[in-house]
Amino acid sequence: MKQKAISVAIDGPAAAGKSTVAKRVAQILGFTYIDTGAMYRAFTYAVIKKNLDPKDEIASCSLIPEVDIELLPGGVVICNGEDVSKVIREPLVSGNVSYIASYKNIRLALVELQRKMAASKSVVMDGRDIGTYVLPNADVKVFQIASVETRAVRRYEENLAKGIPTSLKDVEDDVRKRDYIDSHRDFAPLKPASDSVLLDTSFMSIDEAVDAVLKIVSDKTGLEIPCH
Ligand code: DC
């Protein structure tokens, strides 16, 4: 008998370690990982590549019909046939993505895609509005947080490892700016779903955070967690 698909929503502010944790949880459970932030980033890249201003809502939204985004296994992000996996993590995209993510029509287009991706299979989806808006009936909802300072250091180290040049101060400023824009936008702002479990990872290692999420999944769904 085919088992019911299970959806795990992991939301939280920028650089809280959601994608690292979500990716590992998905791998352990054998679920598909969907990085919705990468989709907003890919759209932002498409706007910049066309020499349009991401602060210009009408110009940015005019690209909706021509932007095609695919998420492939292994974290590969394809935008209009181009592999943008690395470039979407660069400061030019990070510094502009919150504008793009605040435009309702772009959100509607990407949310439709996200819901299709989760329709018939078990997924771990990370973002800002997954538990509140994209998958309101998700089986498991986690709201993952960490202090601004911890998040800035994590993102800074991630950038270093990827060879992306940034300063810790710039990363911290960017994290604060994105927190503000993400939680103050009118449509689907960043906020915990009323039925989410709050997970503060400020003082947790990645392994501890992964185990904490797996425990929440097992408590909520009765799923047996494979050895890992
Ligand atoms: O998770 P991230 O840093 O890659 O996300 C990039 C931006 O996209 C961030 O500013 C918030 C926005 N975003 C969003 O508004 N809704 C989502 N579901 C995912 C990301």
Tens of pLDDT, residue by residue over 155-213, are 899 888 888 888 999 999 988 988 888 888 888 888 899 999 999 999 999 999 999 99
For the chain, the average pLDDT equals 93
**70-111 per-position pLDDT tens digit:** 999 888 999 999 999 999 988 899 889 989 999 999 999 999
When pLDDT is averaged across residues 32-59 and rounded to a whole number, the result is 97
DSSP state of 128: S
Residue 19 above 60 pLDDT? yes
CB of 107 closer than 6 angstroms to any ligand 1 atom: no
For ligand 1, pick from 39, 40, 69, 196 the residue to mutate: most ligand atoms within 8 Å of CB: 40
Does 13 contact ligand 1 (Cβ within 6 A)? no
Longest pairwise C-alpha distance within the chain: 53
Give the separation between CA 33 and CA 26, rounded to whole angstroms.
Answer: 6
pLDDT at residue 91, as a whole number: 85
Mutate to test the pocket of ligand 1, among 7, 19, 35, 36 (most ligand atoms within 8 A of CB): 36
Alpha-carbon distance of 228 to 226, in angstroms, equals: 6
Q: Which domains does the chain have, with CATH numbers?
A: 14-209 (3.40.50.300)
pLDDT at 28 over 90: yes
Pocket lining: 97 vs ligand 1, CB cutoff 6 Å: yes
Whether the per-residue pLDDT at 35 is higher than 60: the answer is: yes
- In this structure, the residue with its CA closest to atom 5 of ligand 1 is 37
Give the residue whose CA is nearest to atom 18 of ligand 1.
127
126 Cα to the center of ligand 1, angstroms: 9
Residue 2 has pLDDT above 60, yes or no: no
Distance 217 CA to ligand 1 centre (A): 23
Q: What is the pLDDT of residue 17?
A: 86
End-to-end Cα, the chain, rounded Å: 25
Q: Residue whose CA is closest, atom 15 of ligand 1?
A: 101
pLDDT for 75 equals 87
Contact 174 CB / ligand 1 (< 6 Å): no
Is residue 1 pLDDT above 80, yes or no?
Answer: no
Q: Is the CB of 41 under 6 A from ligand 1?
A: yes
Is residue 124 helix, strand or coil? strand
The atom number, within ligand 1, closest to the CA of 101 reads 15
- Per-residue pLDDT for 123 more than 80? yes
Report pLDDT for 181.
Answer: 85
The one-letter amino acid at 210: V
Three-state DSSP class for 172?
A: helix
